[in-house]
Amino acid sequence: MLSKRIIICLDVREGKTTKGVRFQGNVDVGDPVEMGERYCEDGVDELVFYDITASHEKRGIMIDVVRRVARTIFIPFSVGGGLRTVDDMREVLLAGAEKVSVDSGAVRNPGIIAEGARAFGSQCVVLGMQAKRVGRRPGIPSGYEVFVDGARVATGLDAVQWARRAEELGAGEICVNSIDADGTRAGYELTITRMISEAVRVPVIASGGAGEPAHLRDVLTEGKADAALIASMVHYGTHTLSEIKRYLDNAGVPVRTKW
């Protein structure tokens, strides 16, 4: 049967993996290609390389990272961060990425999802979203609002409705990052993850809040996520991938246990 996927995210700033808390801090954690290779050997199912380099002019550095990753690892990996046009996407895909991820760019220009899906296929386009619990109110029936720009700017968009719209436009996968849970290591936000997973037919990746293997168990079962994204949990060695997978396997969650 289909396994649930464990995905590791590496934030990359000017070609170096940086401290996991997005938009803050620039402490180097390591070389993204070496780290990616190690995680591959440890059994990761997929990787995400998120470009947090502030300057659009320095995009070439990230493309170089993508090329080196593609020559080294042979599992699926996506690239996100600052992708605004189909040309941006094409450059990344031709460098060897399997998928591209759009977030704020898609909120500003939803057409980018459709254009990307048309040009490369839905399976290449992942919609990332930052969702925050704001409570049910007119315009936000789910109680979760979409934020952009480092999770600071409210968009007025309902998270579940935005997920549905992105699917209609052609997104092949939705990655839901909970702003409330992110960085807490207290667990994923199960409610919004489940709501979105039940609202769309495409796979859903849960993101934000992982601190213990039990959190992944919960989001992959109760949260109905198809995949769980982790970062600081493994970057700092508090948990290893094999420990996480062994835990999930023992808990009856279908995971890839041999690689």
Partner 1 sequence: MSAPTDGVVIVDYGAGNLTSVRLAVEKLGWRAIVTDEPEAVRRAERVVFPGVGAAGSAMETLRTTGLADALVEYAASGRPLAGICLGAQVIFEQSAENRARCLGILPGTVERFGVGPGFKVPHMGWNGVEFVAAHPVWAGLESGSQFYFVHSFFPVPAEPGMLIGRTDYGGAFPSAVARGNVVAFQFHPERSGRVGLAVLENFLRWRP
**Of residues 183 and 203, the one with the C-beta less far from partner 1:** 203
Radius of gyration of the chain (CA): 17
The dihedral region occupied by 14, where left means phi > 0, alpha psi between -120 and 50, and beta the remainder, is left
Residue of 1, 55, 57, 252 that binds partner 1 (CB under 8 A): 1
State yes or no: residue 259 binds partner 1 (CB under 8 A).
Answer: yes
Stretch that binds partner 1, among 1-9, 20-28, 181-189, 212-220 (CB under 8 A): 1-9
- Smallest gap from Cβ 25 to partner 1, in A, equals 32
The CA distances from residue 104 to 38, 42, 101, in Å, are 30, 32, 10
Size of the site for partner 1 (CB under 8 A): 31
In angstroms, the first-to-last Cα distance of the chain is 16
Q: Does 199 engage in binding with partner 1 (CB under 8 A)?
A: no
Taking the complex as a whole, the smallest distance from the CB of residue 37 to partner 1 amounts, in Å, to 11
Q: Return the structure tokens found at 232.
A: 């600081």
Q: Which is nearer to partner 1, 149 or 198 (CB)?
A: 198
Report if residue 175 touches partner 1, rule: CB under 8 A: no
- Identify which of residues 37 and 180 has a Cβ nearer to partner 1 in the complex: 37
Q: Are 156 and 142 in contact (CB under 8 A)?
A: no
**Interface mask (CB under 8 A) for partner 1, residues 126-165, using x and -?**
----------------------------------------
User: In degrees to the nearest 10, what's the CA dihedral of 106, 146, 173, 92?
Assistant: 40
Stretch that binds partner 1, among 26-34, 48-56, 73-81, 157-165 (CB under 8 A): 73-81
Position 201: which residue type? Answer: R
Interface stretch with partner 1, choices 56-64, 66-74, 101-109, 187-195 (CB under 8 A): 66-74
What are 251's two structure tokens? 């808990």
Q: Is 256 in the site for partner 1 (CB under 8 A)?
A: yes
Is the separation of the CB atoms in 65 and 37 below 8 Å?
A: no
Q: How many Å apart are CA 69 and CA 31, to the nearest integer? A: 11
For residues 142 and 161, the answer to whether their CB atoms sit within 8 Å is yes
- Rule CB under 8 A: say whether 71 interacts with partner 1: yes
Closest C-alpha to 53, from 61, 45, 44, 41: 61
Binding site for partner 1 (CB under 8 A): 1-5, 40, 45, 70-71, 74-76, 93-96, 98, 120-121, 123-124, 172-173, 201-203, 226-227, 256, 258-259
